[in-house]
């Protein structure tokens, strides 16, 4: 049960920070998204993000910060096997499913639908 509460609080906290940034700076949603990916990556590098996932579950896996966390995870995994080349090989290892689905879905939807307004 506590996971549900932590998930709600953590994910809400991330969204709140994003809203504060959007309302008070000239940064666009694109900037904020990129910023969160980088923050997620650094948190993972410091070993913090895995703990957040443990306590908050989907609350930490769903927001975009998780993308940064997965980038580092994939890169580090293959780096331990293949050395420096592994960094480049592994960076999109764990996120490739997400990226592929996004590309395929976008393609199919663009075929079916026409923009309206």
d(CA 32, CA 22): 8
Per-residue interface string for the shown chain with other proteins, residues 20-49, x marking contact by CB under 8 A: --x---x-xxx-------------------
CB of 29 to other proteins, least distance (A): 4
d(CA 86, CA 80): 7
Closer CB to other proteins, residue 83 or residue 115? 115
d(CA 91, CA 104): 20
CB of 31 to other proteins, least distance (A): 11
CB of 109 to other proteins, least distance (A): 12
Size of the site for other proteins (CB under 8 A): 8
Per-residue interface string for the shown chain with other proteins, residues 98-117, x marking contact by CB under 8 A: -----------------xxx
CB of 26 to other proteins, least distance (A): 6
Closest CA to 5 of 50, 52, 59, 49: 59
DSSP 2-27: HHHHHHHHHHHHHHHHHHHHHHHSS-
The most distant pair of C-alpha atoms in the chain lies apart, rounded to whole Å, by: 50
Query: Which residues of the chain form contacts with other proteins (CB under 8 A)?
Result: 22, 26, 28-30, 115-117
């Amino acid at each position: 049960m506590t996971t549900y509460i932590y998930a709600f609080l953590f994910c809400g906290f991330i969204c709140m920070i994003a809203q504060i940034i959007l309302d008070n700076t000239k940064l666009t949603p694109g900037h904020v998204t990129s910023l969160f990916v980088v923050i997620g990556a650094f948190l993972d590098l410091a070993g913090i993000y895995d703990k957040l996932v443990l306590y908050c579950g989907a609350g930490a896996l769903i927001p975009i910060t998780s993308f940064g966390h997965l980038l580092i995870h994939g890169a580090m995994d293959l780096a331990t096997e293949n050395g420096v080349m592994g960094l480049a090989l592994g960076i999109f290892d764990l996120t490739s499913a997400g990226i592929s689905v996004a590309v395929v879905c976008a393609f199919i939807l663009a075929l079916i639908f026409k923009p309206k307004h």
